[in-house]
Amino acid sequence: MSTAPTLRNRLGPIGVWSIELRYGDRALSDKAIPELDELGFGAIWIPGGLGGDILETMSRALSLTKRATIASAIINIWKHEPAELGRWWHGLSDDHKSRTMLGLGASHAPLIEEYQSPVTTMTKFLDGLDAAGVPSDHVCIAALAPKMLELSGKRTAGTHPYLVTPQHSAVARAAVGPEKLVAPGQHCILESDPAKARAIARKDLAGYQQLPNYVKNWHRLGFSEKETTEASDRLVDEVVAWGGTDVIGERVKQHHAAGADHVCLKVLTEDYRIEADPPIAEWRKLAEALL
């Protein structure tokens, strides 16, 4: 019997995605992580796409929280081995295991020299996790395209798509089935001035526009090549929710209505960068309005 409903209940409707908790000031992160837990966010998603000590960061976050699920978004399957994840998993306490989600991703060809078939490589990685004794209901895949979505539904708890719209949440739900997890990431900006908000969004999207997996997915969602090349207002507005908490809350509702179980919010600010301070003030506003 599927354990997906349990995972949905554990994650809750809204979480937070934060690169600052990984690469920002350690002391500030250690204060922010338990506050996110107390604010009521169901999950804290920590990026690990560059490799490195993501598992150490997750262990620290687990030790600093009591209720929130700690999730990787994502563990780069080219930068880690299944046996490494297995050793880490078996070293966790039962409580920490119950609050852990290992989000996996196949990264992007321009970033990985040895890059080859992502679905084949992901399948082999999942085989390795099975052999290492990592339960599949604590694993999900950052899937965008049909074959990877199908794999996430068959072999893991579900999917954690990134840089998507509510339309993609409907696509993901149809692909993985009714009992699997759909947990999209949603970029958001607490800024109501269109010019300022779109400038912040375009600065963040610039790097992703160079990665074919995201661009191809935007094309599948109906955006033209011109729109994805130029980061048109329509692309920015549909991929990034900007405005007041009411606007961001409405976007979350759209994802849920389309089939998402959980939406994790990536907050962008004018100062957004890898080593910036955690956007605690913005998280507090979002928690007060949405949780």
Q: Are the C-beta atoms of residues 223 and 234 closer than 8 Å to each other? A: yes
Note the pLDDT of residue 5. 46
Note the pLDDT of residue 244. 98
Section 16-36 average pLDDT: 96
> How would residue 51 be classed by pLDDT, with cut points 50, 70 and 90?
confident
More confident residue, 108 or 173: 173
pLDDT of residue 1 exceeding 70, the answer is no
> How would residue 109 be classed by pLDDT, with cut points 50, 70 and 90?
low
Note the pLDDT of residue 107. 76
Report the SS3 class of residue 112.
Answer: coil
Other Cβ atoms within 10 Å of 34 Cβ, number: 15
pLDDT in tens, 248-286: 999 999 999 999 999 999 999 998 877 889 999 999 999
Q: How many whole angstroms separate alpha carbon 60 and alpha carbon 119?
A: 31
Q: Which two tokens stand for residue 118?
A: 């992502």
pLDDT, mean over the chain: 94
Q: ∠ CA 61-2-68 to the nearest 5 degrees? A: 20
User: What is the 3-state secondary structure of 212-246?
Assistant: HHHHHHHHHCCCCHHHHHHCCHHHHHHHEEECCHH
Q: How many whole angstroms separate alpha carbon 162 and alpha carbon 71?
A: 14
Note the pLDDT of residue 113. 64
Section 98-115 average pLDDT: 83
pLDDT in tens, 75-102: 999 999 999 999 999 999 999 999 999 9
Note the pLDDT of residue 180. 96
pLDDT of residue 4 exceeding 80, the answer is no
Note the pLDDT of residue 127. 98
Q: Are the C-beta atoms of residues 265 and 14 closer than 8 Å to each other? A: yes
pLDDT of residue 7 exceeding 80, the answer is no
pLDDT in tens, 136-170: 999 999 999 999 999 999 999 999 999 999 999 99
Q: How many whole angstroms separate alpha carbon 54 and alpha carbon 75?
A: 8
* Residue 263, strand partner residues: 14
Note the pLDDT of residue 110. 63
Q: Which two tokens stand for residue 273?
A: 């960068």
**DSSP letter assigned to residue 60:** H
- Which top CATH class is 4-290? alpha beta
Where do the structural domains in the chain lie, given as residue ranges? 4-290
Section 217-234 average pLDDT: 98
